[in-house]
Structure 1
Amino acid sequence: MNESTASGKLFLVPSPIGNLADITFRAVETLKSADLILAEDTRTSSVLLQHYSIQKPLTAYHQHNEHRVFQHLTEQMKAGKVMALLTDAGTPGISDPAFLLVRACVQEGVPVECLPGATAFVPALVNSGLPINRFCFEGFLPLKKGRHTLLTELAKEERTMVFYESPVRLVKTLDQLAEYFGADRACCVSRELTKKFEENARGTLKEVADHFRQKTVKGEIVIVVAGI
C-alpha cells in the first residue's frame, strides 16, 4: 500500500535503558517536534522529558490499552498528526508495545520511522564473551503454557541465546535453564546496564545461579546463554 499523502507519521524513539545521557540528539529533536508523545508509562517518560526540557502532550500507550486505542491513533496520523512512541526503556517493539500500531500504520499507508538507539540485549550480548556471530533473541520466556516445549527445543539450539527476565524470577529461570541445557552451559547475566552498579556475571548456569542466590537482585535483567 502506498504511504499517505498527509504529513502524519509515527516515530519509534529508543529511550535510555538506565543512564539518561544515552539518548541521541536526533531522538531529542524528534520528541520536541512531535504533536503527541505516546508513552508506555507516562510517569517514567515524564522524567526523561523533563530532563531534556521537552514539553509536548503525553498519552499512555501500553499493553493494557493498545488493542483499544491503536486504530484511533492511526486515524489521527492519517489526518496529519505526527506521533512519537516511547517505552520505559530501550527500543519500542523489543519486548514492549509497538507492533500493533506499526502494523496498522503500514497497512494504512502512514509512514513509520524507527530511530537507532538503546536496546538492552545488544550490550549484554556483546560484553558476554560468548559467540555473537549468530544468535537468537527469545525475549521473556512463557510463564507457564509453552515454557517446557520451548526450553526443550532451545536445548538443541546452536546459536547464542538471549533472554529477558525479571529480578524476582532470575534464579528460578537460571535453575530451569541448567535443568534443560545442562548446569555447565556457559552464560552471562547482565543487570543495571549503563547504571552506576552495572553487573555482568559470567560463568556456568549453575555458578551464576548460585551467585545471584546469595544476594537481592534488582534492575532489568538480560540472560545470555551459549548454544551447544
Structure 2
Amino acid sequence: MTAEPTSYTLDSLSERLNGLSNIDALRTLAELFPGEVIFSTSLGYEDQVITDMILANDIPIKIFTLDTGRMFSETYSVWKKTNDRYATTIETYFPKADAVEKLMTEKGPYSFYDSVENRKECCGIRKVEPLNRALKGNKIWITGIRADQSANRQAMTQLEWDESHQLFKFHPLMDWTFEQVTQYVKDHHVPYNPLHDRGFVSIGCQPCTRAIQPGEDFRAGRWWWEDNSKKECGLHTHEEVFKA
C-alpha cells in the first residue's frame, strides 16, 4: 500500500477516531478535513441512518446519490421526503448520456442478464464512473457498509485506505446489526424506503433488485441470477480497496 497523501496515516487517523461515538467520529472527520468529507447514499436503511446522524447534528459533510436512470419510484419518494425532512438538497450524479446510449443501442436494455461481464459493464457506466466524479477532490468517503451484508465485506475494517480513489473510507455502521439499523430508524423517525417493508433489504436498480425470503442471504435480492461470490458492482470490493 502506498503512503497516504495527507498528514494522517491510516494508523494515526484510526487512533484519533478510536473510542468515539459515530456522531463524534463524523464530526471529527469533518473538522480534520473541512470541505473534503463526502457521504454516498443509496437512500436505503443504513444510509438513511447516517444521513440522520449528519443532518440532525449539523455536521458539515457533503451528501450525494447516484441516479442510474433505473431506480424504483419508491426510491425517488424517500429521496424527496429526506430533502423535505432535513431541509437539504442531496447532490445527484448521473451516468454519462453518450455511454448509456451506446450501451442500450449495442446491447439492448437487459444485457446485464446475459453475463457477469455485461452486468459489470452496466454497473461501470451507471454507477462506478459517476462515483469517481463525485469522489474527486475529497479525502474522506463515508459509506453505509456493514460487515454482515456479504462475505466480501467481513474482511473490511471501519477505516480503510482506498488506493484506487486515493482517500480514506469510513464505515460508521461496520459493526452494526440489521436490527440495530432498523431500530435506529424507528426510534428517530427517519424516512425510509417503503420497499423495505416488502422484503427488500438491499435496494438498487429496479431490474436488478428483488425482495428476499425469510432465511435468505442479505445479498440474495441483488443480481439474484448470479453466484453470491460475484455480487459486487465495483463500488466497494475488497480487492478494489487494497489493490497495489
Range into which the TM-score falls when normalised by the shorter chain: 0.3 to 0.5
Q: Which has the higher helix share?
A: 2
Larger radius of gyration: 1
Q: Which has the higher strand share?
A: 1
TM-score, normalised with respect to structure 1:
0.33
TM-score, normalised with respect to structure 2:
0.31
